Amino acid sequence: MAGHLLAKGYALRVHNRTPSKCDALIQAGAQWADSPAEAADNADVAFGMVGFPSEVEEVFLGERGFLAAHNPPRIVVDMATSPPNLSVRIAERAMARNVSALDAPVSGGDVGARNAALSIMVGGEAASFELVRPLFELMGKTVVYQGAAGAGQVCKMVNQILIANSMVGACEALLAAKASGLDPHRMLESIAGGAAGSWTLSNLVPRMLKDDWKPGFFTSYLAKDLRIAAEQAKALGMHLPGLELSHALYQRMDALGHGRLGTQALLKVWHELHPKHP
């Protein structure tokens, strides 16, 4: 995502907890920063993309975070998946430093990031969204303003419920096909282009069929996202059985030590529960 901005001539300062992950960007012209605060100092826009809410707090609100910069950026953008109330808190803290904040979680996985084809869901001040929109459009194909601070994260919550529930359905369909004697590749050829077609069927089920569990998105991250969704649903007084099931299954995946595998590795839970149907 940073590479797409750099390729269009934007000046970047970059920071990562694993400095080697920035090597290619630095070779392409980006500058290294020793902390998020240094990266954000006197910048127009500071983008953060990390895994867990505690890390979002550190990057945005911590002692060496974006808002601790000597000359804070005009706009800070959280592109991780965070609780909506954390996005509101970041926006309030940012306002105290005369900074605008956007929450802009994404969907599309590793493929979408590499191909600048992400879907970006944005909450925060509408005027700030319009200022940052040209940068979002270098990273994604679908960029939609959802509303006030936290609205982007609520939209991502809905996205993750759909993704997780569709993965449950894909696992069950694949196992049913195999147990009934169907060639799973032929089965996929028939259904992927019909009414049952989905991003999961087209992109992740082929990985399942090759026992390819490499992550486009870590299982541990989806387990975290579903926990956020479950907490939000509870706060709204909603009972969502599909979410509750997928949350439990992905928590089990994480507990089994598969948190660093891709979300398609949910199939491993079924293999464990039904060893006669590999």
pLDDT tens track for 149-179: 999 999 999 999 999 999 999 999 999 998 8
CA 106, 109, 28, 35 torsion-angle sign? positive
> What band does 271 get if pLDDT is binned at 50, 70 and 90?
confident
Calculated CA dihedral for residues 131, 109, 28, 40, nearest 10 degrees: 40
Q: Is pLDDT at 277 greater than 60 in this prediction?
A: no
Domain interval for residue 105: 2-148
pLDDT digits (tens, 9 = 90+) for 197-244: 998 999 999 999 999 999 988 999 999 999 999 999 999 899 999 999
Supply the CATH number for residue 241's domain. Answer: 1.10.1040.10
* 111 has a pLDDT exceeding 70: yes
Domain assignment present for residue 92? The answer is yes
Q: Is residue 116 part of a domain?
A: yes
Task: Give the helix ranges, DSSP H, for the chain.
Answer: 2-7, 23-27, 36-40, 53-61, 84-96, 109-114, 126-139, 151-179, 184-191, 199, 205-209, 219-235, 241-255, 267-273
Do 117 and 28 sit in the same domain of this protein? yes
For residues 144 and 165, membership in a common domain is answered with no
> What pTM was estimated for this model as a whole?
0.89
From 104, 128, 148, give the residue that closes a domain.
148
d(CA 87, CA 101): 8
Same domain (yes/no): 269, 168: yes
pLDDT band with cut points at 50, 70 and 90 for residue 109 = confident
The last residue of a domain, from among 116, 148, 180? 148
Determine, yes or no, domain membership for 228: yes
Element (H, E) at 120: strand 118-124
* Across 24-38, average pLDDT: 97
160 and 141, same structural domain?
Answer: no
Residue 41: pLDDT over 70: yes
How many separate domains does the chain show? 2
CATH number at residue 53: 3.40.50.720
Amino acid 275: pLDDT: 61
Examine the domain organization and report whether 100 and 188 are in the same domain: no
Catalytic pick from 8, 21, 141, 156? 156
% of the chain exceeding 90 in pLDDT: 88
The answer to whether residue 278 is domain-embedded is no
Task: Decide which of 114, 148, 182 is a domain's last residue.
Answer: 148
User: Does the annotation mark 156 as catalytic?
Assistant: yes
Residue 278, pLDDT score: 52
For range 94-98, the mean pLDDT: 97
